[in-house]
Amino acid sequence: MTERVRVGTIGGAYGVKGEVRIKSFCAIPEAIADYAPLTTEDGSRTFEVTITRQISNGLAARMTGIDTKEDADALRGMGLYALRSQLPETDDDEYYYADLIGLDVFDTGGNPIGKIKAVQNHGATDLLEVFGPGLKTTVLIPFTKEVVPTVDIASGRVIADPPEGLFD
């Protein structure tokens, strides 16, 4: 498990007075400000965050040290990280994406399928992006209890029962 967890991404400038667009990865998007100070992945920059309003596909915010449109645009695509200790504990069967990435994936027969490369969410459900030996591209597995009945963070593995033909 990592010390820092990605909680959002800066989408660039919002307006001309130094506000930024933020895509929050928090269950309650505005809660991203509660985990401040937020940092860059390597911890070299720190930001206090004040949400100013909800906007289409995210939030508008003021961040310390970001005073101009140019400052905000220079941060486009930058991940925002919070210390794990600042985040709420997860319930059973709840996971931070950061904890899933890199886990080994096995089928229900114990055969290795690959590793979780990323977790995607395009609205309907979370998808585990899996890549492994014998695969030319990544495969997306629905992250549901039916398809992924076992997640064992401590052992670094998940058990999946992917839909028929997904790995053929």
Please indicate, yes or no, whether residues 30 and 73 belong to a single structural domain of this protein: yes
**Residue 65, in any domain of the structure:** yes
In 3D space, the residue among 97, 80, 67, 72 whose CA is nearest the CA of residue 1 turns out to be 97
| Mean pLDDT, residues 129-143 | 90
Residue 167 pLDDT > 80: no
Q: Which domain holds residue 147?
A: 97-160
Q: Which single residue is written with the structure tokens 């996971």? A: 95
Under 8 Å between Cβ of 145 and 157: no
Please indicate, yes or no, whether residues 78 and 101 belong to a single structural domain of this protein: no
Residue 1 pLDDT > 60: no
| Mean pLDDT, residues 90-112 | 89
**Residue 168, in any domain of the structure:** no
Give the pLDDT band of residue 146 (cuts 50, 70, 90): very high
Count of structural domains, the chain: 2
Higher pLDDT, 167 or 148: 148
**Residue 165, in any domain of the structure:** no
First vs last C-alpha separation in the chain = 32
- CA Rg value for the chain: 18
Under 8 Å between Cβ of 62 and 45: no
β-bridge pairing 104-107 and 157-160: parallel
Look at residue 91 in the predicted model and tell me its pLDDT: 83
Q: State the pTM of this model.
A: 0.75
Angstrom distance (rounded) from CA 151 to CA 79: 26
Q: What is the CATH number for 114?
A: 2.30.30.240
* pLDDT tens readout for residues 26-70: 888 999 999 999 999 888 999 999 999 999 889 999 999 999 999
Please indicate, yes or no, whether residues 68 and 102 belong to a single structural domain of this protein: no
Angstrom distance (rounded) from CA 168 to CA 149: 21
Give the pLDDT band of residue 121 (cuts 50, 70, 90): confident
Look at residue 74 in the predicted model and tell me its pLDDT: 94
Please indicate, yes or no, whether residues 80 and 42 belong to a single structural domain of this protein: yes
Residue 102 pLDDT > 90: yes
Q: What is the DSSP letter of 136?
A: S
* pLDDT tens readout for residues 75-97: 999 999 999 889 888 888 888 88
Look at residue 168 in the predicted model and tell me its pLDDT: 66
Please indicate, yes or no, whether residues 81 and 8 belong to a single structural domain of this protein: yes
